[in-house]
Amino acid sequence: MTTDSTGRVQPQEHLTIPEVCAELKISRSTFYYWRQTGKAPRCVVLPNREVRITRTDLNVWLTAHTEVA
């Protein structure tokens, strides 16, 4: 959960694998390979076995993988 400028709590955004792949410009197979090898962002597995990635977890993962040029 996050808060907006008025202090109201906003629900966490949950991204699908296709949404994450599109944002990172990678294939689904690359994402699944990263996930299998422990290199993907933290995932949430829903009761129906669908996978979601929170916006916060994706941003944290991207920050951790940012290199200074």
Asked whether residue 15 is assigned to any structural domain, the reply reads: yes
Asked whether residue 36 is assigned to any structural domain, the reply reads: yes
Q: How far is CA 56 from CA 9, 29, 51, in A?
A: 15, 23, 15
pLDDT of residue 20: 98
pLDDT of residue 1: 53
Q: How far apart are CA 36 and CA 51, in angstroms?
A: 13
**Model-level pTM?**
0.80
CATH of the domain at 55: 1.10.1660
Domain carrying residue 10: 2-64
Asked whether residue 69 is assigned to any structural domain, the reply reads: no
| Tens digit of pLDDT at every position of the chain (69 positions) | 556 667 776 788 999 999 999 999 999 999 999 999 999 999 999 999 999 999 999 999 999 999 876
Q: How far is CA 12 from CA 8, 50, 58, in A?
A: 13, 17, 12
pLDDT of residue 11: 80
Tally the domains of the chain. 1
pLDDT of residue 3: 63
